[in-house]
Amino acid sequence: MYKDIKDKKIIITGSATGIGKSVTARLCAFGAKVAALDINKEKGSETVFNAVEYGGDIKFFEIDVKDEISVKKNIEEATNWLGGIEVLIHIAGILEGADTEINNFPEDIWDKVIDVNLRGSFLVTKYVSKVMIKQNSGVIILTASGAGVHGGSSSYAYGSSKGGVHGLSLVLEQNLSKYNIRVNDVLPGSVKTPLKVKNVKDTHKNNDKLSVDQRIEELVSPDEISKVYAFLASDEASMIKGSIRTK
């Protein structure tokens, strides 16, 4: 499956936990050369260790996606190690401010979520695109959310930030196609990630425990969602345009 993934040079952000961890494991299993980026050094190192155990060609880079100096440094170092960038899969993000009404929403949480999710997507794409434009090829896969495109988010900041990521991907798609760069954004639904599990517990904390547990059990496995990213990273997805929704 996806034979062209073997030896493909891929940067994955948010690789320490959740969807990013599953995507990293899957692409390493397919034989990709992966630069795994995350702010969580401990969990990120675990992801790398596990991938190396089954033969993955992978290296970890500690990055703060909202900090331009950190992004510039780590993208450059990852590019040098990889020998170029064929695919960016940007998944890093946070979810805070759940179940807080707009009239009481803290400005510091708003700024933090926008900085990580939207500014982070911009900065990572900015420095990856410098490489891809120069080589006149590449694939950029951003991570938005159904909550940011169709509404229904438990957090004003999260929904707004992901709506911004979606808008960014649309503008990138329009403007980078002339450099043979394909841009997609994935809109994951309710996925069983640490962020989502905490969100369920926070927003349903006044319900009985069984109700919360049932909601968590209904969440989709990150391993299932990782299949979508793996397909988009492959040449078989060359005709796919725009956004991809998942459960």
For residue range 39-63, list pLDDT tens digits in order.
999 999 999 999 998 789 999 999 9
Catalytic residue among 2, 127, 156, 158: 158
Model's pTM, two decimal places? 0.92
Helices assigned H by DSSP within 54-90: 68-82
Average pLDDT by stretches of 10, the chain with 247 residues: 88 95 95 97 94 90 98 98 98 92 96 98 98 98 90 89 97 98 92 62 62 71 92 96 91
What span, in angstroms and rounded, lies between the C-alpha atoms of 121 and 117?
6
Neighbouring CB atoms inside 10 A of 123's CB total 23
% of the chain with per-residue pLDDT over 90 = 76
- Hey, what are 60's tokens? 């970890």
- Hey, what are 184's tokens? 């997609």
For residue range 181-226, list pLDDT tens digits in order.
999 999 987 765 666 566 666 666 666 655 767 766 677 788 889 9
* Domains of the chain by residue range: 3-188+222-245
Q: Which CATH number applies to 3-188+222-245: 3.40.50.720, 3.40.50.920, 3.30.110.30, 3.30.930.10?
A: 3.40.50.720
158 is catalytic: yes
